């Protein structure tokens, strides 16, 4: 403390500290990969030099005498937070994860806070905070500082280039085989991914909204005298197909669905591993590959159903519809709830999914009467099994598997307690879907009714040391992509569509993806559109089978 330092020396010392104190996820991952210890050490040394060079190159733009201490401190804070989440939930800080963080609402963020997080962050942050408050920095003229910064930048880039050239034989195959390592380099990964995620929409060229509603029309089943259709599409959250009892799971997590004789598809894969990636993709007519490579935005399933003449309503108990519902009526589950209902359905300020069902008749009555008389498509977006606070997603009768993990720090829980908490959240979804089906059955005299449930993505529960979801799709384990899909159709709707229940049940083993949702829903709703592809309609082969069987 007695010797003043230049701003460049401060930056270099902070960088060296972060390499040692905030890159444990990277070092541990390299050791898990395997190989000779000598190879580990070479790879770790090379990556350490690259992290130092990268950080020095970035901070060369901010190595000034005055006004930089807070910014330097914020860099250390980002590194401390990123290391905690990477160690605790085994995530990587790629642009997709950064986008998820930026779109997380306060309710979801609160689930991630804990005393352990505070202590882990303070363990990294305390020393540099004390040091930055006390260190004396040499005053320099602006031109002298600029010259030093330029020299530091050139040296950093030169050393990085030399390191890459000298270690390419080791690093190139390592990074090709394990691309996730680049997003464990802390805080470089966060400093890269966060601006990319935040600025990508700003600097992306303006995308045209491509219409998909031309010639959309209601089919022959809407002829005069036919009852209107009332169809509920439930978008599940974080549900794993292999934890549904009706799919053969060892626990009976879905007794309500089994009691109602639903159809369940066991081999369905998601479009993405996060809500942000999956939700717009599953409602799109394009399919995963075309959706991810698109140059423009496209109207979706809800636009087509509305243009055909149906009333469409999106109800949300999550962090928004990610643009899917922008052009149709939409509301939050907690919106307009009376005080008594708030107290019963939203304990602690977080609404359970049953809030989506509260006073639904009034919500439907508020839709345009002319469209409502033709048919209603109601989309319910669940909170479902959103982690890490799985224990908050179930209440009362749903808590059948005990003891359960009651902390957000999932690695602190015994694996069975974690599975218990997650399975209780699936049981809560089962209760919710059962009540939704009962609500539909109670309106069968007025409407032809049906329900389709499909989760947006799955979840890791400690397999391979991973928790939660959001891994890059190419690296994500199957449990983050294998999702449940369930359907319930009343007899009138089956007859209306010429569908054979036996045929549908026999075809429930067919492999499907989110690509099938758009076309399957158009077929179920009997909405005619040039965008419909019969080969992607999961029910198409059973349409007319009921008539053929007579």
Residue 55 has pLDDT above 80, yes or no: yes
Interval 218-243: pLDDT, tens: 999 998 778 999 999 999 999 999 99
Q: What pLDDT, on a 0 to 100 scale, did the predictor assign at position 203?
A: 57
User: Could you write out the three-class secondary structure of 263-307?
Assistant: EEEEEEECCCCCHHHHHHHHCCCCCHHHHHCCCCEECCHHHHHHH
Domain residue spans of the chain: 7-203, 228-549
Return the CATH fold of 228-549: Alkaline Phosphatase, subunit A (3.40.720)
What does the pLDDT average to over 359-377? Answer: 94
* Residue 547 confidence (pLDDT) above 60: no
Q: What is the mean pLDDT of the chain?
A: 90
Over residues 149-202, the pLDDT tens digits come to 999 999 999 999 999 888 877 776 677 667 788 889 999 998 888 888 777 666
Which is higher by pLDDT, 21 or 97? 21
CA distance 60 to 53: 10
pLDDT beyond 80 at 392: yes
**Is residue 413 very low, low, confident or very high in pLDDT (cuts 50, 70, 90)?**
confident
Phi, psi for residue 267 in degrees, rounded to 5: -125, 70
pTM of the complete model: 0.77
550: pLDDT strictly greater than 50: no
Please say if the pLDDT value at position 100 is more than 90.
no
Residues 266-300 as b/e (b if ≥16 CB within 10 A, e otherwise) read bebbbbbbbbbbbbbbbbbbbbbeebeeeeeebbb
**Which range is least confidently modeled, 198-212, 392-406, 515-529?**
198-212
């Amino acid at each position: 403390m007695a010797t003043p330092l230049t701003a460049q020396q401060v930056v270099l010392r902070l960088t060296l500290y972060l390499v040692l104190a905030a890159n444990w996820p990277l070092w541990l991952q390299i050791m898990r990969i395997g190989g000779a210890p000598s190879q580990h050490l070479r790879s770790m040394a090379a990556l350490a030099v690259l992290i130092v060079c990268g950080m020095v190159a970035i901070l060369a733009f901010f190595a000034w005498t005055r006004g930089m201490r807070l910014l330097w401190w914020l860099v250390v804070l980002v590194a401390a937070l990123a290391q905690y989440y990477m160690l605790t939930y085994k995530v990587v800080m790629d642009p997709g994860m950064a986008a998820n963080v930026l779109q997380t609402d306060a309710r979801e963020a609160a689930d991630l806070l804990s005393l352990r997080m505070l202590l882990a962050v303070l363990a990294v942050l305390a020393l540099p905070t004390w040091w930055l408050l006390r260190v004396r920095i040499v005053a320099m003229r602006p031109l002298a500082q600029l010259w030093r910064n330029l020299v530091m930048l050139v040296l950093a880039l030169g050393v990085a280039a030399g390191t890459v050239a000298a270690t390419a034989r080791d690093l190139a195959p390592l990074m090709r085989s394990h691309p996730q390592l680049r997003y464990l380099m802390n805080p470089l990964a966060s400093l890269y991914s966060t601006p990319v995620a935040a600025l990508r929409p700003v600097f992306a060229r303006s995308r045209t909204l491509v219409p998909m509603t031309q010639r959309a029309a209601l089919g022959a089943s809407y002829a005069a005298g036919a009852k209107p259709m009332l169809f509920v599409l439930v978008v599940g959250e974080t549900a794993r197909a292999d934890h549904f009892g009706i799919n053969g799971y060892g626990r009976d997590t879905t007794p309500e669905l089994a009691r109602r004789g639903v159809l369940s598809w066991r081999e369905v894969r998601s479009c993405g591993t996060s809500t942000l990636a999956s939700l717009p993709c599953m409602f799109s007519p394009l399919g995963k590959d075309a959706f991810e490579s698109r140059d423009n935005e496209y109207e979706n399933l809800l636009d087509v159903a509305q243009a055909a003449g149906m009333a469409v309503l999106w109800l949300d108990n999550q962090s928004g519809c990610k643009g899917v519902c922008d052009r149709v009526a939409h509301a939050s589950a907690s919106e307009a709830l009376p005080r008594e209902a708030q107290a019963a359905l939203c304990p602690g300020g977080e609404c359970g999914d049953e809030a989506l069902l509260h006073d639904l008749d009034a919500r439907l009555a508020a839709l345009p009467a002319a469209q409502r008389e033709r048919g209603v498509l109601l989309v319910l977006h669940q909170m479902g099994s959103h982690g890490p606070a799985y224990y908050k997603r179930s209440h009362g009768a749903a808590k059948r598997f005990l003891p359960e993990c009651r902390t957000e720090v999932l690695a602190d829980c015994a694996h069975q307690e974690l599975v218990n908490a997650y399975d209780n959240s699936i049981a809560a979804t089962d209760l919710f879907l059962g009540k939704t089906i009962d609500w539909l059955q109670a309106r069968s005299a007025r409407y032809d009714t049906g329900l389709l449930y499909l989760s947006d993505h799955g979840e890791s529960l400690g397999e391979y040391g991973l928790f939660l979801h959001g891994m890059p799709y190419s690296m994500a384990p199957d449990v983050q992509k294998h999702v449940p899909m369930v359907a319930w159709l009343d007899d009138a709707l089956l007859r209306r569509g010429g569908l054979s229940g036996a045929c549908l049940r026999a075809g429930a083993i067919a492999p499907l993806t989110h690509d099938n949702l758009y076309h399957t829903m158009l077929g179920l709703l009997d909405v005619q559109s040039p965008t419909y592809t019969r080969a992607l309609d999961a029910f198409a082969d059973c349409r007319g089978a009921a008539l053929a069987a007579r």
